[in-house]
C-alpha cells in the first residue's frame, strides 16, 4: 500500500519507551551503523521531539527532531526497509516540516551520509539545498564518512 493511498491510516505519535524494541528492530535493519538503544532512550527522555510513524497502528518508522530557537534539526528519519519506496519516508518528512512550520522555525536542516543517495534524492525532491559539508562526521565500516548538510528555508513563513 502506498502512503498516498493509505494516508488516512498513517499517523505520527510521540515515541514511548515501551515501543523501543520495535523502533530498535527497524533502526538496526535500516542503517548500516544504527543508533544504540541507549541513545534512543536518552532522546525520549530529552527535550527532543521523538516520533513513531504508525500505519494502521503498527510502527513502520520513526523520526527525531531537535528544536532550538527558530531552528529545527532532523536527527533521524527511518522507515522499515521492507516498506521502502512506498512514500512513507516522504509522508513523514512532510509531516515533520509541517510541525516545524507550526512552531515558526525559519530553517529545517539535517546531515546525511554522502553515500546515502536515496535519502539525498528525497531531500532534494522536497526542496532542500546542500548548504555545507561536515568532514568525517559519521563512523563508517572503514573509517569515517563525510556528511552533507542540507537545509530547507522556512523563513517565508515569517512574512505570511
Ligand atoms: C531514506 C528513507 C527514509 C526514505 O523512505 P522511503 O519510505 O523508502 O522513501 P519514499 O518511498 O518516501 O521515497 C521518497 C524518495 O526517496 C528516494 N528513494 C527512496 N528509495 C529509493 C531507492 N531505493 N532508490 C533511489 N531513490 C530512492 C526517491 O527520490 C523517492 O522518490 P520517488 O519514489 O518519487 O522517486 C528510507 O530509505 C530509510 O529509512 N533509509 C534508511 C535510514 C536513512 O538513511 N535515513 C535518512 C537519514 S539522513
Output the tens digit of pLDDT for each of the chain's 160 residues.
Answer: 778 777 779 999 999 999 999 999 999 999 999 999 999 999 999 999 999 999 999 999 999 999 999 999 999 999 999 999 999 999 999 999 999 999 999 999 999 999 999 999 999 999 999 999 999 999 998 899 999 999 999 997 544 4
Using most ligand atoms within 8 A of CB, pick from 61, 79, 150 the residue to mutate for ligand 1. 79
- Using CA atoms, how far residue 119 sits from 27, 83, 151, 156, in Å, is 15, 15, 13, 25
Using the atom order of ligand 1, give the atom closest to the CA of residue 112: 48
Using the atom order of ligand 1, give the atom closest to the CA of residue 90: 12
Sign of CA dihedral 52, 55, 120, 94: negative
Nearest CA to ligand 1 atom 33: 85
Nearest to 65 by CA among 1, 118, 25, 110: 110
Indicate which residues carry an active-site annotation: 111, 123
d(CA 50, CA 15): 5
DSSP single-letter state for residue 34: P
Domain residue spans of the chain = 3-159
> How far is the centre of ligand 1, averaged over its atoms, from the C-alpha of 60 (Å)?
14
Ligand 1 pocket (Cβ < 6 Å) reads 30-31, 77-79, 84-90, 110, 112, 116, 118-119, 121-122, 125
d(CA 35, CA 96): 20
**Class of the CATH-defined domain 3-159:** alpha beta
Please give the backbone phi and psi of residue 154, each rounded to the nearest 5 degrees, phi first.
-110, 10
d(CA 139, CA 153): 28
Amino acid at each position: 500500500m502506498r502512503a498516498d493511498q493509505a494516508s488516512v491510516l498513517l499517523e505520527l505519535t510521540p515515541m514511548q519507551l515501551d515501543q523501543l524494541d520495535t523502533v530498535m528492530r527497524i533502526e538496526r535493519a535500516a542503517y548500516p551503523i544504527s543508533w544504540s538503544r541507549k541513545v534512543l532512550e536518552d532522546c525520549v527522555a530529552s527535550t527532543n521531539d521523538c516520533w513513531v510513524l504508525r500505519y494502521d497502528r503498527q510502527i513502520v518508522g520513526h523520526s527525531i527532531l531537535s528544536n532550538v530557537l527558530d531552528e529545527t534539526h532532523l536527527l533521524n528519519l527511518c522507515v522499515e526497509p521492507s516498506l521502502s519506496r512506498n512514500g512513507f519516508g516522504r509522508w513523514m518528512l512532510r509531516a515533520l516540516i509541517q510541525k516545524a512550520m507550526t512552531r515558526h522555525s525559519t530553517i529545517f536542516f539535517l546531515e546525511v551520509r554522502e553515500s546515502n543517495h536515496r535519502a539525498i534524492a528525497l531531500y532534494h525532491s522536497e526542496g532542500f539545498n546542500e548548504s555545507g559539508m561536515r568532514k568525517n562526521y559519521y563512523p563508517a565500516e572503514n573509517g569515517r564518512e563525510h556528511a552533507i548538510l542540507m537545509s530547507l528555508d522556512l523563513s517565508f513563513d515569517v512574512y505570511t
